[in-house]
Structure 1
Amino acid sequence: MHAIAVEQNHLRWRAQPAPEGPAAGEVRLRVAWAGVNRADLMQRAGHYPPPTGVSNILGLEVSGTVVEAGPGVDSLCPGERVCALLAGGGYAEEVVVDARQVLPLPQGFGLRDAAALPEVFATAWLNLFMEGQLAAGERVLLHAGASGVGTAAIQLCRAFGHPCFVTAGSDDKLFACRELGADGVFNRHQGSFVTAVKQWGGADVILDPVGAAYLADNQQVLNAEGRLVLIGLMGGRCAELDMGRMLMKRQRLIGSTLRARPPAAKGAILDALLAHVWPRLASGEIRPLIDRSWPIEEAEAAHAHIERDANIGKVLLAVSGEG
């Protein structure tokens, strides 16, 4: 098969060994589209290695067609069109993945749109509703609101009755966030978001991919009993924590990653998506926001687009390009 190799920090589409398997409980997919995530850029730069035993090939989500099912898999059949959440290996013509990490396409969806679903909606659902434990009517602050995860999270907040406030880096991005359902917005280039979020009513849950640079301000706007869910470190990994404020307001700081979780845990998240989100995708209430796509051979251009923070929503790579 062909797959993307990282060679001297360049992305090359070249022949590589096909993955072994499928073993018991796994399926082999022929990849149609692969999603691009900022984690791919981090791995390429040497800052986010794959878990032990996982392919070094980039790519955390794909859509495609089942070509082979391993022993014990009776829920997926060859020829079925699916999307999948991966720990790696998606920038390739084929991938082998645990069947628990595979979902059927939502009704009415093609393979292109479906490739924009697994990683961002799993991340948003996990961290808002499972880690963040959103209760009825609670308010959410979303940083990097125009990212793939951000645009998914805005729509989940709207669909499940949670007002959300969004920060992003341009007026165009903020307009797109409002169109998706954000109740309040703030351009991060205008300084601190503290006053604007406090006037809005503060946040009960914060979804933060920034980290150190936002810790102090996040603590200031987090309400009593609030949960700060940290999902990234774009703004650094070390900062001073005000433990007095944390204690008196009973705040909770939760670190959360998705990639290294075992297949059973990922399967539980995808089961929740199938039950609660897939029907809303099928009805059109929620939709994936796709910014742009490139042929897999031009993966480097897709990475550069994300590196410039130019995207609003998901960036995709066409592998076979099936619709």
Structure 2
Amino acid sequence: MRAVRFHTAGGPDTLAVEEHNDPVPGPGQVLVDITGAGLNRADALQRRGRYNLPAGATDIFGLEVSGTVGALGTGSTRFVLGDPVVALLASGGYAEKVAVDEGHVLAAPEGMGLLEAAGVPEVAATLVSNICMAGRFEHGETVLIHGASGGIGSFGIQLVKALGGRVAVTASTDVKLAHARELGADILINYTTDDFAEKMSAAGGADIILDTVAGPYLGRNLHALNPFGRIVTVGMQGGRTGDLDFAMLMKKKATIIGTLLRDRSSAQKTAIMSETQRLVWPLLASGSIRPTIDRVFPLSQVAAAHHYFDSHAHIGKVLLDCRT
């Protein structure tokens, strides 16, 4: 099969499509003939040599795919050959085939094309595990999402609104904020011109903050938080360390949560995917929420896809078409 690996850490041009042995599904696994794969921030970090792969993960890139069931491992009973599915992966998605635990595989959402569905599993599982499960979201709460225009931001706005919440977002341009408004965001903050902490405080504060920046945002996130609020950090784009005002933390009775999805145990991922299906799949089927797909590149143009992803010009998901 064709698959994308790299031999030297660096820019997008280090990526190349190579011939690779077909994977074989083990006990309890499903082999997916891949239709599409989604690009994610972790892929760019891995390419730069800044992301350690979880134990047992292949060095083939890719954390989420859509496709059809091509083979079943011993004891796999949830699917039959030919079923359209999506899957959450530790790695292996930039390819024509991937073997994955059947608990990390869901029937493809109804009402959308199979290629488009490749943009769903990683963002949906990230949002459900962090906002709903770790963040303990409740109806009527306000969620601040840093980064309105990426896959997580675009999907997260719709999900929180559909679950009965109020959404605040930050972005670097008015164009990206306009897109967020179209998706339903209530509070729009251009972080290049406004102090998001002051704007959030004036707007009533946040109950949950989904933070991809860490470092320099720690103090301002806490300032923007309501009493008993939760900061859920899922990325460190701004740096690994920051100053924490413990007096403010205690006064607000706040919770700071740090989490990753990729290195979770198989059982934890199975639980997350089950909850994702319960919460998100009916909303997708009804059309209440849709993944925002910015651009699709063929697998052979993976370097161009990463150049585009690194430019931060995209609004929504960037996908690879992995079909021959």
In 2: Cα distance, 1:268 partner to 1:32 partner: 25
**1:115 partner amino acid:** A
Q: How does 1:72-111 map to 2 (within 5 A)?
A: 72-111=75-114
**1:69 partner amino acid:** L
In 1: Cα distance, 2:218 partner to 2:115 partner: 36
Q: For 1:18, what is the secondary structure of its paired residue?
A: coil
- How far is 1:308 from its partner? 1.4
Q: Which residue of 2 aligns with 1:273?
A: 276
In 2: Cα distance, 1:117 partner to 1:293 partner: 14
- How far is 1:170 from its partner? 1.0
In 2: Cα distance, 1:264 partner to 1:76 partner: 18
**1:294 partner amino acid:** F
Gapped runs of 5+ residues in structure 2? Answer: none
Q: Which residue of 2 aligns with 1:14?
A: 18
- Whether 1:282 and 2:285 are equivalent positions in the alignment is yes
- How far is 1:17 from its partner? 2.0
In 1: Cα distance, 2:293 partner to 2:248 partner: 39
Q: Which residue of 1 aligns with 2:247?
A: 244
Decide whether the 8 Å contact of 1:125 with 1:153 is kept in 2. Answer: no
Alignment equivalent of 2:35, drawn from 32, 35, 39? 32
In 1: Cα distance, 2:289 partner to 2:44 partner: 27
In 1: Cα distance, 2:230 partner to 2:211 partner: 11
**2:15 partner amino acid:** L
Decide whether the 8 Å contact of 1:224 with 1:250 is kept in 2. Answer: yes
Q: Which residue of 1 aligns with 2:4?
A: 4
Q: Which residue of 2 aligns with 1:44?
A: 47
**1:11 partner amino acid:** L
Alignment equivalent of 1:125, drawn from 110, 125, 128? 128
Q: Which residue of 1 aligns with 2:117?
A: 114
- Whether 1:318 and 2:321 are equivalent positions in the alignment is yes
**Alpha-carbon displacement from aligned partner over 1:120-177 (angstroms, at most 9, x marks no partner):** 0110111110000012211111101211011111111100111011001111110111
- Whether 1:302 and 2:305 are equivalent positions in the alignment is yes
Alignment equivalent of 2:223, drawn from 209, 220, 223? 220
In 1: Cα distance, 2:217 partner to 2:267 partner: 33
**Alpha-carbon displacement from aligned partner over 1:215-244 (angstroms, at most 9, x marks no partner):** 111011111101000000001011111111
**1:306 partner amino acid:** F
Decide whether the 8 Å contact of 1:83 with 1:104 is kept in 2. Answer: yes
**Alpha-carbon displacement from aligned partner over 1:83-103 (angstroms, at most 9, x marks no partner):** 100000100111000000001
**1:128 partner amino acid:** I
Q: TM-score, length-normalised on structure 2? A: 0.97
Q: For 2:192, what is the secondary structure of its paired residue?
A: helix
**1:169 partner amino acid:** S
Q: For 1:270, what is the secondary structure of its paired residue?
A: helix
**2:88 partner amino acid:** L
Q: For 1:310, what is the secondary structure of its paired residue?
A: coil
Identity of aligned pairs, percent? Answer: 44
In 1: Cα distance, 2:112 partner to 2:78 partner: 19
Q: For 2:91, what is the secondary structure of its paired residue?
A: coil
- How far is 1:109 from its partner? 2.0
Decide whether the 8 Å contact of 1:211 with 1:234 is kept in 2. Answer: yes
In 1: Cα distance, 2:3 partner to 2:309 partner: 20
Decide whether the 8 Å contact of 1:305 with 1:311 is kept in 2. Answer: yes
Gapped runs of 5+ residues in structure 1? Answer: none
Please give the root-mean-square deviation of Cα atoms over the aligned residues, in Å.
Answer: 1.1
Q: TM-score, length-normalised on structure 1? A: 0.97
Q: For 2:119, what is the secondary structure of its paired residue?
A: coil
In 1: Cα distance, 2:179 partner to 2:283 partner: 20
Q: Which residue of 1 aligns with 2:213?
A: 210
Q: For 1:64, what is the secondary structure of its paired residue?
A: strand
**Alpha-carbon displacement from aligned partner over 1:226-268 (angstroms, at most 9, x marks no partner):** 1000000001011111111101111110001100111221111
In 2: Cα distance, 1:207 partner to 1:133 partner: 12
- Whether 1:263 and 2:259 are equivalent positions in the alignment is no
- Whether 1:142 and 2:145 are equivalent positions in the alignment is yes
Q: Which residue of 1 aligns with 2:233?
A: 230
